[in-house]
Structure 1
Amino acid sequence: MAQALAQSGLHEQPGTASSPQVPPLVVPLLVICPLLLLLFARFATTAKPATPREKLLAELPSPPSSLPVIGHLHLVGSLPHVSLRDLATKHGRDGLMLLRLGSVPTLVVSSPRAAQAVLRTHDHVFASWPGSAVTDILFYGSSDIAFSPYGEHWRNIRKIVTTQLLTVKKVRSYRFIREHEVRLVMEKIGETSAIGKAVDLSGLLPFFTNDIMCTIVSGKLFKEEGRNKLFRELTDANSKLLGGFNLEDYFPSMARLGVVRRVVCAKAEKVIKRWDNFLDTLIDGHVSKSLVNHSDGKISDFIDVLLSVEQEYGLQRQY
């Protein structure tokens, strides 16, 4: 060490204190070396022959200010939809723009014509959602209609939704539920305004829509023991986990590391355990009360319908 310090001209001068000193070259090296490594990695990547996929992505318009590792993440502000709109206006072409969010190429569609091409003409290409550990946990292996990859399973669950749950007749049958919930909301507004208080619609309307969905999904069982409030709490927890910053969404390879994956999945594991208990209670309540019975004139809820087609579609409660 003394020899190294002497060679660099940083040895201790006579008469000075013997406290350790930081060599002035260390700080610049700590900054420059990582940048050199990043530039070398970027050069090594670009030096490889471009694949057909990379060639196709290179043809898409893209902002020029991409940075190593993070790509265009620094261009997306606290209001992503505003940032994407502004970027698409400036850098997009024919309603298309490519952003590299971390290591993930992301296509931004910003015109009706481009949206039609993505959602209708080439819908099978864009139908599958990228794999995610969080969605795998929250939706039992990403097996629901929103996150399930395009294929036979997705077509089956889509068939159940379109032919059993959301038919025109079924939606119309829930009209009295909607009207009942509207009356309850109007009564609350009337009671609050009668005593001269302001009505908090931002708090009232979410509960209104939540209670409608609760009753349609599971009938009156939802409102027993405050289960409608628990349902809202759990759906809010899902929204925060899916809408928050997930490392694997931008750096999939890094998210595969054990430590990182455990941190990312810890909250999702806690939420899904609560979902398991909640859904088991609802289903057990339907089975024990024999609610799958249409002879009494009652309108069946979603759980009733799913139990009635359980054998036909091979549905099961265990993943």
Structure 2
Amino acid sequence: MLQQKEREPLGAAELAWSQDTVAAVKAQFEAVVVGQHRLRQTLLIGLLTGGHILLESVPGLAKTTAASALAHSVRAQFRRIQCTPDLLPSDIVGTQVYDARDAVFRTQLGPVHANVVLLDEINRSSAKTQSAMLEAMQERQTSIGGEIHPLPEPFLVLATQNPIEHEGTYQLPEAQMDRFMLKDVLDYPTPEEEAEVLARIDRGVFDAGRQPAPAASLDDVRALQDAARRVYLDPAIVRYIVGIAYVTRHAAQYIDARLASLVEFGASPRASIAFSAAARAAALLAGRDYVVPEDVKSLAHRILRHRVILGFEAVAEQVPVESVIDAAVAAVPTP
């Protein structure tokens, strides 16, 4: 029986290099995007883990700017896909085009074949198109005309949805939302941050050709991904993660009866897997080679808000899912 080789722990030199590289990427991101510090961490965690991200916010909160800035900072190829009800799967993954001159079909790869892909307003596309995109996210490849085309590495999908517009939208099924590692909900900027946005517009910061040189390369990103996988995760932290997921599935035994009655479905094992990978990345971003309980707690909303499903009573009573998540986290002893 083959034994799996254990990953070597991070050395001091690797950790120092990771800190310097992450700091350079953060600095370039902040030079373009004002505020949105949690969004920056969310995007970097997605980049370091290869996990995809679902962003929810009203229009105009710099989602496209943030995705583009992240891609530019690491010399990655960036594509934006505007989802509409008439968008077809072939518009995303690609298709075969007939070349009349040579009387042959040629493969034309779609915009999903990029390192960072922004799916804007994913809930505007049909279920068939959503399914094709989510399949590409899961399998890391597309199939066109019977041929398999691997997606580039690293590969990160940022999908956005607008919570205030329901006309002509198709809600993502819970089973498909579960495939996103993180779901972040963005808020409006502070008055000071909004004033800084206007000042940067006046200074021409966002003009074409004004972006600085990339702070890192795709090889650096791959090295950071390898470093994140080798961040130490203590067995006590593993039990803590599994315990939180378990409580969401058996809420009536652990949290307030009224809150527990609102829960229809708890988090799947994908939540524990996401916690493990994202906590390691969060620790590396904080300059540590080990995970602490605060890393797990800080990610709880982003990992569980789209995995803990509440019933219609929660909607009627305007009980946010974050209240249930907080109760579940509080019910598990911190190691």
**TM-score, normalization: structure 1?**
0.25
**TM-score, normalization: structure 2?**
0.24
Larger Rg: 1
Q: Which has the higher strand share?
A: 2
Which one scores higher on RCO, CA 8 angstroms, separation ≥ 6? 2
Q: Which has the higher helix share?
A: 1
